[in-house]
């Protein structure tokens, strides 16, 4: 049997992280088993569709490195892969169910349904559809359908017995039939509901394994009733535990939790996100991989196994993701770092003619997330306001008076440098300290403060001076001297 899996998102906006994990696991399972990974767009709920969301899904899948073998924009022999383009597919199967008694047309209006729902609530009962239209004679029902009277088609769930299925993670799952609702299969607009379309499409597309969140555990018994009524063999079900923001709620777009695109735009690295997401609810074989946490996509494919999936909800730990991101950034080649960092450097340094290779060397291992880079290097664009107390440093043995002396010595020495390189600046300042019997820090620290305004910077006095260039370095040292003299 050739494994065929599918990721079937609704086009309601950006790809949220729970959806990304579902797509990732589905992709990994297919590739691990030499199978086919399919993208299907489930857009039958037209009211919730967001314009442009389908294209966003394509883009997100490409950005995530989840390349599907079949899908709307790549084709395949089981297309179309967008459900609204398959709308004529579903009604014949619904009518087959009507003919067999496994479904029936319903003519209840929204107002009638709401009235009966309100009456049940008033009695303290939980309402589900009461099979009001089930006993309409078939001939009469067909006549009313053909006359243009609005109708839906509902599943006829048995009132006794149990509906059940086997799940690869949760084992045997069943529900008493009298607790299940007669779901709508075909809506008044002629489009199927998710509950019906996913069954029909999974069968027609030859899907062998359905991987989805545990929110569908309660619905799957009803799906199996449809498979049975149509005489089809259901797929293998693999329900995955949810990704939680904390112990009380799931990650959700409506609470402002980030999407995959949000994380990318914030400067997280794609591979770090994928690696982190893969470990949310799945653990590689400890005997084989030990405590290994860092995996390439190919390594994830090799390591992925259903036995590593957990039934317990996974908590999305932002600090852990940040740590992953820092590790990935620190391990990337310098030229790759510079390529990714350059747009962030440009946000504050565009037009400054600054040596980005030197800046990349200083920032490479200090960068946790690229969106923090602009604020970390903003001092290079404009000297921030600072208090003279910052010149005092016990370890460097400096205070305001020593710092003023250091700057007065450094200014003419730096002015005399013709080739203003980092090496030459360092040599001049070190020589200056030696000639004046001062510790290196007593020269370097005041210069660093004067030209950066900060106690903590990427790089020291000589690297910063080189990046700023001779003229700007001298200008800032003069400002530092003025500040120290005016407070003396």
Active site residues: 253
Measure CA 443 to chain center. Answer: 47
Rounded CA gap, 349 and 357, in Å? 13
Q: How many CB atoms lie within 10 A of CB 197?
A: 25
Residue 348 is given by DSSP the state H
Rounded CA gap, 37 and 8, in Å? 11
Alpha helix (H) ranges present in 185-243? 194-204, 220-230
State the Cα torsion 8-11-13-17 to the nearest 10°: 0
Give residues with Cβ within 8 angstroms of 17, minimum separation 6.
243, 251, 257, 258, 259, 260, 263, 277, 316
Rounded CA gap, 272 and 329, in Å? 9
Measure CA 447 to chain center. Answer: 43
Rounded CA gap, 318 and 301, in Å? 24
CA contacts within 13 A on the Cβ side of 415: 11
Host H or E run for residue 162: strand 162-167
Long-range CB pairs of 478-483, under 8 A, 24+ apart, other chains included: 478/411, 479/383, 479/450, 480/403, 480/407, 480/446, 480/449, 480/450, 480/451, 481/404, 481/407, 481/408, 481/411, 481/450, 483/388
Output phi, psi for 128, to 5 deg. -135, 160
Q: Are strands 152-155 and 184-186 parallel, antiparallel or unpaired?
A: antiparallel
Residue (of 225, 282, 283, 231) closest to 103 by Cα position: 225
Rounded CA gap, 430 and 341, in Å? 32
Residue 397 is given by DSSP the state T
């Amino acid at each position: 049997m050739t494994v065929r899996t599918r990721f079937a998102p609704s086009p309601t906006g950006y790809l949220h992280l729970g959806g990304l994990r579902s797509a990732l696991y589905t992709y990994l399972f297919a590739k691990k088993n030499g199978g086919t990974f399919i993208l299907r767009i489930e857009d039958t709920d037209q009211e919730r569709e967001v314009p442009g969301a389908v294209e966003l899904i394509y883009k997100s899948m490409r950005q995530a490195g989840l390349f599907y073998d079949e899908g709307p924009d790549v084709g395949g022999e089981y297309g179309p892969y967008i459900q609204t383009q398959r709308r004529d597919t579903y009604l014949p199967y619904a009518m087959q169910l009507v003919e067999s008694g496994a479904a029936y047309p319903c003519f209840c209006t929204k107002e009638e349904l709401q009235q009966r729902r309100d009456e049940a609530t008033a009695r303290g009962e939980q309402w589900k559809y009461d099979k009001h239209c089930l006993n309409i004679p078939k001939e009469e029902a067909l006549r009313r359908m053909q006359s243009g009277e609005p109708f839906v088609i509902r599943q006829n769930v048995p009132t006794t017995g149990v509906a059940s299925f086997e799940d690869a993670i949760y084992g045997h799952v069943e529900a008493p039939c009298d607790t299940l609702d007669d779901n709508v299969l075909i809506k008044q607009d002629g489009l199927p509901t998710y509950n019906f379309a996913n069954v029909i499409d999974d069968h027609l597309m030859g899907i062998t394994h359905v991987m989805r969140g545990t929110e569908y555990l309660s619905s799957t018994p009803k799906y199996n009733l449809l498979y049975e009524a149509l005489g089809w063999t259901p797929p293998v079900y693999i329900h995955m535990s949810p990704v939680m923001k904390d112990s009380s709620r799931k990650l959700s777009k409506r609470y402002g939790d980030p999407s995959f695109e949000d994380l990318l735009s914030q400067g997280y690295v794609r591979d770090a996100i994928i690696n982190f997401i893969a470990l949310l609810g799945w653990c590689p074989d400890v005997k084989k991989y030990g405590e290994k946490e860092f995996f390439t996509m190919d390594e994830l494919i090799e390591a992925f196994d259903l036995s590593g999936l957990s039934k317990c909800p996974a908590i999305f730990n932002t600090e852990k993701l940040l740590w992953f991101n820092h590790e990935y950034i620190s391990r990337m080649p310098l030229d790759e770092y510079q390529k990714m960092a350059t747009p962030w450097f440009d946000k504050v340094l565009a037009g400054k003619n600054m040596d980005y290779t030197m800046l990349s060397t200083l920032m490479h291992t200090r960068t946790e997330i690229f969106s923090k880079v602009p604020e970390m290097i903003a001092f290079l664009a404009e000297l921030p306001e600072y208090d003279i107390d910052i010149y005092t440093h016990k370890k460097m043995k400096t205070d305001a008076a020593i710092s003023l002396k250091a700057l007065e010595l450094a200014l003419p020495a730096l002015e005399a440098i013709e080739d203003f390189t980092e090496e030459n600046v360092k040599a001049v300042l070190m020589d200056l300290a030696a000639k004046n019997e001062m510790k290196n820090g007593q020269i370097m620290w005041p210069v660093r403060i004067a030209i950066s305004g900060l106690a903590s910077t990427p790089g020291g006095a000589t690297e910063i001076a080189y990046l700023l260039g001779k003229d700007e370095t001298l200008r800032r040292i003069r400002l530092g001297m003025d500040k120290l003299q005016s407070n003396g």
